[in-house]
Amino acid sequence: MVLTKDGSLYIKIVYWGMAGSGKTTILETLYKITKESKKDIEPVEDLKKIEKASGARLYFDRGLFQSTKQKKIFYRVFTVAGQSSYSPLRSQVFPGTDAVILVVDSQSKYLEDNVESLLELKNIAQDKLIKEIPVIVMLNKQDLKNVIDVEDFKQVLKEQLLWYEPDHELFNQNPPIYETCALYETKKNIYRSFYECVRRILKGDEDLPYPYVFKPPEPPGDFDMEIQLQVNKFIDKEPENGTFCQYCGMKLTDEEKISHNCRKKPD
């Protein structure tokens, strides 16, 4: 999370998943839903996409939403390119992520590819999934034939130690699993899954009322003591459009987004 000097809070959410799972379509549909209907969030800038002529992601998609109830809360939303060749880029996009929405291609024939994508996510997140970084699962393309269901993917999560039994202290933080359809015409659980992601980031306790009343956190004195609600940097002015390093605040060019290695990054 990034807290600006005027008290605005910027939260980073990443849609993660294998190539062709529907991440971009989901984000496009979320944009349309929140533009056309009164919701708790609304887009505040156009969706930015960098893609090949084929329509595949070349780098990532990026969008910005604002809470309609808490005007100083913003959501920076990214989708990652799913092709295996973009693994180094995904590791560059992930740092600073406050929550992950895992998009699964529900077709049974792609189960192994989905597991491979999940394994990469676990590796990059370094054992922080669920414990520190909330995870939401979207079983996309449920309108097709021969698809896996909630129980099928719950078993995958159990095998990867990302699902806890009722007697475990993290049981209530198990990833909710939504059966979804990304296309706007057949949309299903697109907004609901994003809403639950936001609720888990800000609310943290099911007994608290929604909307969450934001109280800016104090800057941590020791990076080793940081918790989920952290402050990476204060910014002296309103943030400009663009991508900035979460550690030094430097505005990044398209090349630097991939290659920038901040020396101020804590060990």
The residues spanned by each domain of the chain are: 2-259
Say which residues have a Cβ less than 8 Å from residue 116's Cβ, sequence separation at least 6.
18
Across 37-41, 211-215, 259-263, which has the greatest mean pLDDT? 37-41
Q: What is the pLDDT of residues 191-217, one digit of tens each?
A: 999 999 999 998 744 333 333 333 434
pLDDT of 183 higher than 50: yes
Q: Could you give the CA distance from residue 234 to residue 223 in angstroms, rounded to a whole number?
A: 15
129-142 burial, b at 16+ Cβ within 10 Å, e below that, comes to: bbeebbbbbbbbbb
Whether residue 234 contacts residue 5, with contact meaning beta carbons closer than 8 Å, is answered with yes
Dump the DSSP string for 45-105: SPPEEEE-TTS-EEEEEEEEEEESSSTTEEEEEEEE--SGGGHHHHHHH-TT-SEEEEEEE
Whether residue 96 contacts residue 88, with contact meaning beta carbons closer than 8 Å, is answered with no
What does the pLDDT read at residue 219?
Answer: 39
Q: How many CB atoms lie within 10 A of CB 219?
A: 11
Model confidence at 258, pLDDT cuts 50, 70, 90, reads low
What does the pLDDT read at residue 208?
Answer: 34
Torsional sign, CA 148, 154, 155, 159: positive
Q: What is the pLDDT of residues 76-123, one digit of tens each?
A: 999 988 787 778 888 888 999 999 999 999 999 999 999 999 999 999
Share of the chain above pLDDT 70, in %: 73
What does the pLDDT read at residue 135?
Answer: 97
Q: Which residue has the tokens 């956190």?
A: 217
What does the pLDDT read at residue 146?
Answer: 96
CA-derived radius of gyration, the chain: 18
What does the pLDDT read at residue 233?
Answer: 41
Model confidence at 248, pLDDT cuts 50, 70, 90, reads low
Q: When comparing pLDDT for 164 and 227, which is higher? A: 164
Share of the chain above pLDDT 90, in %: 58
What does the pLDDT read at residue 138?
Answer: 98
Give the right CATH number for 2-259 from 3.90.1300.10, 3.10.580.10, 3.40.50.300, 3.20.190.10. 3.40.50.300
pLDDT of 52 higher than 70: no
In single-letter form, the type of residue at position 17 comes to G
Mean pLDDT of 31-39: 92
Q: What is the pLDDT of residues 3-19, one digit of tens each?
A: 888 889 999 999 999 99
State the average pLDDT for the chain: 81
pTM recorded for the entire structure: 0.74
What does the pLDDT read at residue 50?
Answer: 62
Whether residue 61 contacts residue 48, with contact meaning beta carbons closer than 8 Å, is answered with yes
